[in-house]
Amino acid sequence: MLEFDGITELASIHMRTDYYFCPAGLEKLLYSELQSELPGARHEVSQPGLLRSEFDDADPPHPAVLAFVTQALPHANLCNCNSISEWAELILSKLTQIELSSTWHLHCFDAAFAAVVKQPQRPRLIRKKLEELLARKLRSARRTLQAAEAPAHAGDLVQLALLSPSSAILSVLPSTQRTFFSACLNPFQAGAVPIPNDKFPPSRAYRKLLEAELLIGRNIGPGETCVDLGAAPGGWSAVVLSRQALLTAVDRSPLRDDLMRNPGLTFQKGDGFKFMPKQTVDWLLCDIIAYPQRTLELLSTWLKEKCCRAFVVTLKFKGTPDLKTIAEAKRLLAAHSRHYLVRHLQSNKNEVALVGEL
């Protein structure tokens, strides 16, 4: 145990400890996933919705691609402090030990509110206190600190997850290590992706597409070409058309009437598994209800033939997602995609989204 100024930091006897938040009820899935992704480490469920992994080496064996994670806190320590001021002082002391890059993020949240955008008062007060300290003692860091709601796609990431008023997990991840953890990190505080409510799309499925875009940090833009397979009733298509993108939608059923009349839409009634574009499109979107193996074969063909530049594809499972199929998806994306996520989204039930860029 390290002690300074009355603040205690529980130093791990292991070289490195990571914590992973997951949605309630998915602990077993994340545990199994961690075991297969990082077999050299010891994993345990530390409390509902939170797992801990301990490594004997400071450097992880390889990046973990995790589907059932809400947020990862790599290189973490368990800390104790008695007041808001002490928490702020502790974070400040950590900041003085590292060379901050030109952009850094502080995500301060309550573990009981992981995956919740609006945080309770205590984590917000700790952030406010730290901002005051920085303004007095470390002005350069105050200037480069990003807003709490700004997505942390790059830069240093400091996370404080309160387990109780006086105990927390503190993780400091320098920007140089960001890419290593990119397939398990969530750029949003507490792993809560802020998806705006929209009554216009004909289905709530639109939330999956917005979440996928936010997670990967790339939006469908004006003039981009998109193919939406299994598009009806048109939740994803409504998003694409609202961006002034050019859309070919394929389904056995038509989209909602007003979408069908949209001049940006070319609708093709038929089997999405038989559709191939004449030339490379910017986005492949696929939300067909089908056996996951079939969807993987479809994606494999599109990726191998370089038919798209980016993709959002859902793998749907009958009941609990199957980790073997998910591992196969990870191998496919590792082989063909430069930047990708395999992720159980906030809006997913028994499904996992494959999101990436070639």
Ligand X SMILES: C[S@@+](CC[C@H](N)C(=O)[O-])C[C@H]1O[C@@H](n2cnc3c(N)ncnc32)[C@H](O)[C@@H]1O
**Residues contacting 349, CB < 8 A, separation 6+:** none
Site for ligand X contains 241 (CB under 6 A):
no
Site for ligand X contains 230 (CB under 6 A):
yes
- Binding-site member from 101, 203, 268, 300 for ligand X (CB under 6 A): 203
Q: Which of 208, 316, 318, 349 is catalytic?
A: 316
User: Considering CB under 6 A, how many residues would be counted as binding ligand X?
Assistant: 22
Does the active-site annotation cover 129?
Answer: no
Site for ligand X contains 187 (CB under 6 A):
no
- Binding-site member from 109, 206, 267, 283 for ligand X (CB under 6 A): 206
Q: Which is nearer to ligand X, 211 or 287 (CB)?
A: 287
In angstroms, give the least distance from the CB of 26 to ligand X. Answer: 21
The identity of residue 125, as a single letter, is L
Residues 271 and 288: their CA atoms lie apart, in Å, by: 10
**Residues contacting 319, CB < 8 A, separation 6+:** 350
Q: Which is nearer to ligand X, 42 or 243 (CB)?
A: 243
Asked whether the beta carbons of 232 and 210 are under 8 A apart, the reply is no
The identity of residue 229, as a single letter, is L
Residues 11 and 14: their CA atoms lie apart, in Å, by: 8
- Binding-site member from 205, 310, 345, 355 for ligand X (CB under 6 A): 205
Site for ligand X contains 251 (CB under 6 A):
yes
Question: For ligand X, what does the binding mask look like between residues 258 and 297, x meaning CB under 6 A?
Answer: -------------xxx-------------xxxx-------
User: Which helix H or strand E contains 101, and what residues bound it?
Assistant: none
**Residues contacting 58, CB < 8 A, separation 6+:** 15, 16
What size, in residues, is the chain?
358
In angstroms, give the least distance from the CB of 241 to ligand X. Answer: 12
- Binding-site member from 137, 143, 252, 306 for ligand X (CB under 6 A): 252
In angstroms, give the least distance from the CB of 332 to ligand X. Answer: 20
Q: Which is nearer to ligand X, 132 or 271 (CB)?
A: 271
In angstroms, give the least distance from the CB of 286 to ligand X. Answer: 9
Residues 140 and 104: their CA atoms lie apart, in Å, by: 11
Residues 312 and 61: their CA atoms lie apart, in Å, by: 28
Strand duo 351-357 + 308-316: pairing: antiparallel
Residues 178 and 305: their CA atoms lie apart, in Å, by: 30
Residues 236 and 239: their CA atoms lie apart, in Å, by: 5
Site for ligand X contains 232 (CB under 6 A):
yes
In angstroms, give the least distance from the CB of 264 to ligand X. Answer: 16
Binding site for ligand X (CB under 6 A): 203, 205-206, 229-236, 250-253, 271-273, 287-290
For the annotated catalytic residues, the residue numbers are: 316
